[in-house]
Amino acid sequence: MDWVDVVGWAGAGLVLVAYALLSAGRVDGRGAAYQLMNVFGAIGMLINGYVRGALPSAALNLIWMGIGIYVLARGRAGLVRERIGAAGTRES
C-alpha cells in the first residue's frame, strides 16, 4: 500500500464516519464538522481517483468537495450577517 492508497482510504473513512454521525443524529448536516469531514474525505478520494485514473470517481469527489465548500462558505456568510445585525441592534 502506497501513499495514494493511504490517502484514498483515509478519505473514504472520513466520509463514512461523517455519514454515520449524521445518521446517528450526532452532527448537523449543515454544520461545519460534517461539511469539513466531507470536504477532506473527498479530497483524499479525489487524489486517489485522479492518480489511479478513475476519472469518474475523481470528478464525483471534486463535485462533492465543491458542495461542502459552498455550504461552509454560505454558513460563514450567514454568521457574518448575523453578527453585523447584532452589532447594529446593540448600538441603537
**pLDDT at residue number 88:** 64
- Could you give the dihedral angle defined by the CA atoms of residues 23, 44, 13 and 60, in that order, rounded to the nearest 10 degrees? 40
pLDDT digits (tens, 9 = 90+) for 56-85: 999 999 999 999 999 999 987 666 666 677
**pLDDT at residue number 12:** 98
The DSSP code sequence of 31-44 is SHHHHHHHHHHHHH
Helix (H) or strand (E) holding 4: helix 3-23
Task: Record the pTM.
Answer: 0.83
Helix (H) or strand (E) holding 2: none
Question: Is 91 or 59 the better-scoring residue by pLDDT?
Answer: 59
**pLDDT at residue number 24:** 98
- Residue 92: half-sphere exposure toward Cβ, Cα within 13 Å: 6
14 phi/psi in degrees, rounded to 5: -65, -45
Residues of the chain above pLDDT 70, percent: 84
